[in-house]
């Protein structure tokens, strides 16, 4: 099976920030999160540092904390509304 590497540093870091924040709220540190996703803690650390990594691992990390990765339209107005600075 070939690896699907995701090369979007800003996006990967944003996803990992959300996933690790959800993990922390559930009492999981990054080592426990990585292990529950079937990865070595060092793999998660490298992914965070480099801003890219295996897409399948991102999916598994999200699942561990009850999240799923979805595609949404890239809409500046929607992003501003989410941030609370639309008005």
pLDDT digits (tens, 9 = 90+) for 17-75: 999 999 999 999 999 999 999 999 999 999 999 999 899 999 999 999 999 998 877 77
Tell me what pLDDT residue 62 has.
Answer: 98
- Residues composing the chain: 87
- Is the pLDDT higher at 18 or at 86? 18
Residues 48 and 83: their CA atoms lie apart, in Å, by: 23
Domain that holds residue 58: 5-83
| Strand bridging mode 5-6 / 53-54 | antiparallel
Tell me what pLDDT residue 80 has.
Answer: 76
Q: Apex CA 15: angle with CA 19 and CA 12, to 5°? A: 135
Task: Identify the helix (H) or strand (E) that includes residue 53.
Answer: strand 53-54
Total domains in the fold of the chain: 1
Tell me what pLDDT residue 27 has.
Answer: 98
CATH number of residue 30's parent domain: 1.10.260.40
- pTM for the structure as a whole: 0.79
């Amino acid at each position: 099976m070939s690896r699907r590497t995701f090369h979007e540093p800003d996006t990967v870091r944003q996803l990992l920030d959300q996933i690790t924040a959800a993990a922390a709220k559930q009492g999981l540190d990054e080592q426990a999160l990585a292990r529950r996703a079937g990865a070595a803690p060092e793999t998660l650390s490298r992914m965070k540092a480099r801003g890219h990594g295996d897409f399948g691992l991102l999916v598994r990390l999200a699942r561990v904390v009850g999240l799923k990765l979805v595609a949404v339209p890239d809409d500046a107005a929607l992003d501003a509304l989410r941030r609370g600075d639309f008005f």
